[in-house]
Chain A
Amino acid sequence: MTIIPAFLGLPSWQDLQSFIPAGVEFGGVYALSGVGMVVLYRATGVLNLAFGAVGALGALIAWSLINHSHTSFWLAALVCILVGGLLTLAYGMVFGRALAGRDPLVKAAATLGLTLILLGAMDLLWPSSGGQARSITFPTDNSSFQIGQIQVTYTNVIGIGIGIGITLATAAFLRFTKLGTTMRALANDREITATLGVPVARVEAAAWFGCGVLSGVAGLLLADLDQLDASTLTFLVISSLAPALIARLRSIPVTFVAAIVVGVVHAILEASATLTNYADMTPFVLAAIALLVLNRRRVIAVGRVGI
């Protein structure tokens, strides 16, 4: 049994354990990102590729508030989340509505347009010239505890806690609330749901705002976990997309489990001497394998289908 770890260049189990909290924490953030994208897709049919850019903008605004306006961390975090929610809501109300009848690919491409606009604006407002480096650190970063050999920071706990909390809350919201039920109905058939008297615009607005709030939370967490850089945060959305794809943009619980698996496998491969440079492929490889396995003997349907 020791042949496989040796072949993969993995360290001993004792050393490997220390990589797991980081993987679980990343998994938690991927989970809340994936959940945000799945909920929006289910309600509006839009795959929001601007998720990362919106989160990055919120995080950079929070950084400016903390460092230049001496705002408290938690108030800046709140502003970050609100900016994410409001910006995404604004996009959804203006462009989401206008593109409602278009193909899912067109809708996704439109969010890519928003991504590029935000990326340009961030590069202009927060330049990286002259060796400028920014970071956001949570007050909980320097507080930790031990579980066996593993050191866990309270930010690790926040990351995974938010991932679990958002997943449970979203699943309960969709199942037990009137708005959640209408979202699911909207996902089945927009036109029929509208003719039944469901306030489509309001439901969609709630979905856009919710997705934006989650992008703000994810942006803030990833700015601490990874780095506060517009390009990096913008394109981390690609990794977050993998769990949502593994869940075929439908199941919230599967998105959560897939996100944790992606995070942990990624962290373990980082520890590998031979596979470390391929660790970033983890989300895509796992998504490809999952889609191949899950789609066996299925009829491929082009376009969005119901829940």
Chain B
Amino acid sequence: MSLRFGRPAARRLTAAFAVMLGALALAACGSSSSSSSSASASSSSSAASSSTSAAASASTGTSSSSGAVDIASCGTKPGVKATGTPINIGTIDTHQPGTDFTDGPNMINAYFTCVNDNGGIDGHPLKLFVELDQTQPAQIEADAHQLIQTDHVVAIDGVFDLLECTLDAAYWKQLGIYEMDAGIAPECWAGPNSAAVNMGPRYSSDGAVQYAIDVVHASKVVFVQSNVPGTGYIAAGPAAIAAATHTPITELTANVPISDANSLAIKLVDDAGPNGAVVLNFTPPEALVILQAAQKLGLEDRVKSWGCSTPCDTDFLAKALGPKWNHKLFVNAELTNPDDHNGPDMQLYKAILAKYGQSVAGGVGSFSEMGFVLAKFLVKALETIHGPYTLRSVNNAIVNISNYKTDLLCSPWTYGHLPLHIPNNVDYTVTPDNGKMITVQGCTPISSADPQIAEYRKVAEAAGINPGG
């Protein structure tokens, strides 16, 4: 007997493939529509028309406007393309299934394109070399060497990585490089050669716990985070904040990906009690699954409040959660909320994102905001250089960044020659409000009860630097 399929079977197979491909195409079209709206609005714009006004970009959902911003203000010569020798900038970023930080470098690239279309840096275009890694230490160390030795970059700017700060700190110190990043690892804030525009998981968790205690007046806090290396370092911050106010705190970890969110949600609520607060430190998908599990089981009102560190500050989460979480979930926000702020830099950020940010898949959000700030500060530092753009001159300009202001951050940002850097230590709190995040608490300093914050403020003040808080 023949085991081969005859013609009818082949036809059925072809039909099966056709249906599948159709479904895939339909899904792909749908999934890309969320991120292509800004791109489609801008793709026809040419470099010559870069002085486009960007008043309250409708594509970004801005609800209020305080005037218009000239997108050409990203550069010094509006409409003039930079044609000189490029200034090479390097970055290393995590990109693996489940952890994709590429919105950060993609936003930096968008900003650089804007600068290059408007005069560049004294006629020199900026070129970003992006190395993507999958959390493999040897790969990350090799990337650092490649950027310096092969790509001849003169600055490391815009590192969004799980491990990079830990692995490359000694190499940067040896070369005299002062990296600017949006960090994750403790070394991003704890060393002399790294400064971040974000606060990272520890200080952001501090802020969320501080809100639960000081504003919500929770009688107990249950702090839960993913069970990954470094949890002890992160948990030490919230523990210190709670101890300073004599508030009981239970610190838990949960394996990720979370395999039984219902059980975890029940456990958290049981531990916190009716007057307690649950504070999460997870990526958006993991936080979402816990919060949705709580909602399905009717647990959202069984504690006084829910809190979350910065990763939850996304409209994706607010939309997915729905109105039951309005003013029930309080999220620490390290950067200004794009939904209800519209200062000059916020407008410029949205305009550049709309015109040049086709590859920023997540659109408006914390990651692309951080990319904008990192690019803007670097460009401003480069503009202070008179003479050749060498590794030495560029990093000298970076470390001398002092009191750079942007309405995307609460307080001025300074690098400086310090043994540790936590320049962003004042932040907001936001809450879901019918599918968007709105600000419920303005700029508030992270408590110096966290010994790391206290140490930074002490050394910064001693060096004559505004410590922010």
Contact = CB atoms under 8 A, between A and B. Distances in A.
Contacts of B24: 61, 125
Contacts of B284: 131-133
A227 B297 contact: no
A289 interface: no
18 contacts: A22-B260, A60-B27, A93-B5, A123-B100, A127-B100, A128-B285, A131-B283, A131-B311, A132-B316, A141-B296, A197-B1, A225-B261, A227-B258, A232-B98, A232-B258, A266-B259, A277-B227, A279-B260
A65 B26 contact: yes
Given A68-B30, A93-B5, A267-B263, A227 B16 contact: no
A113 interface: no
A134 to B, nearest CB: 7
A157 interface: no
Nearest to B160: A129
Contacts of A239: 259
A128 B23 contact: no
Interface of A: 11, 15, 18-19, 21-23, 25-26, 60-61, 64-65, 67-69, 79, 82-83, 86-87, 89-90, 93-94, 97, 100, 119, 123, 125-135, 137, 141-142, 144, 151, 153, 155, 194-195, 197-201, 205, 225-232, 235-236, 239, 266-267, 270-271, 276-277, 279-280
A61 B289 contact: no
A126 B287 CA distance: 18
B102 interface: yes
A68 B28 CA distance: 10
A23 B266 CA distance: 12
B3 A100 contact: yes
B285 A134 contact: yes
A97 B3 contact: yes
Nearest to B10: A93
A22 B262 contact: yes
Interface string B277-303: 000000111111100100111100000
Contacts of A137: 292, 296
Contact of B3 (A79, A132, A155, A200): A200
Contacts of B263: 19, 22-23, 266-267, 270-271, 279
B100 A129 contact: yes
Contacts of B286: 227
A64 B266 CA distance: 30
B27 A90 contact: no
A65 B27 CA distance: 6
B41 to A, nearest CB: 18
Contact of A201 (B5, B31, B270): B5
A64 B97 contact: no
B263 to A, nearest CB: 4
Contacts of B101: 129
Contacts of A230: 97-98
Nearest to A123: B97
Contact of A130 (B29, B103, B320): B103
Given A94-B13, A127-B102, 17 more contacts: A19-B266, A23-B260, A61-B27, A67-B30, A68-B34, A83-B23, A86-B19, A129-B100, A130-B365, A131-B313, A131-B314, A133-B288, A134-B285, A153-B297, A201-B9, A227-B285, A229-B257
Contacts of A21: 262
B33 interface: yes
Interface string B170-210: 00000000000000000000000000000000000000000
Contact of A270 (B1, B260, B313): B260
Contacts of B7: none
A94 B27 CA distance: 24
A90 to B, nearest CB: 5
Contacts of A135: 288-289, 292, 320
Nearest to B284: A133
B150 interface: no
Q: Tell me which of A82, A86, A125, A235 has the highest count of chain B C-beta atoms within 10 A of its own C-beta.
A: A86
Contacts of B9: 93, 201, 205
Contacts of B99: 128
B260 A86 contact: no
A127 B176 CA distance: 36
A195 B1 contact: yes
B262 to A, nearest CB: 3
Which 8 pairs between the two chains have the least Cβ-Cβ distance? A130-B362, A68-B30, A22-B262, A270-B263, A64-B27, A232-B257, A131-B314, A64-B30
Given A26-B260, A129-B367, A137-B292, A277 B253 contact: yes
B412 to A, nearest CB: 26
Contacts of B103: 129-130
B17 interface: yes
A64 B361 CA distance: 15
B222 to A, nearest CB: 12
A230 to B, nearest CB: 6
Contacts of B85: none
A22 B286 CA distance: 17
Nearest to B315: A131
Contacts of B358: none
A15 B102 CA distance: 43
Contacts of A225: 261-262
B366 interface: yes
Given A65-B26, A90-B20, A128 B100 contact: yes
Given A133-B314, A276-B254, A142 B288 contact: no
Q: Tell me which of A25, A65, A68, A130 has the highest count of chain B C-beta atoms within 10 A of its own C-beta.
A: A130
B3 A194 contact: yes
A9 B45 CA distance: 63
A68 B31 contact: yes
A235 B106 CA distance: 29
A28 to B, nearest CB: 13
A23 B100 CA distance: 31
A129 B285 contact: no
B322 to A, nearest CB: 9
Given A61-B27, A266-B260, A277-B227, A11 B270 contact: yes
Contacts of B266: 18-19, 22, 271
Contacts of A126: 31
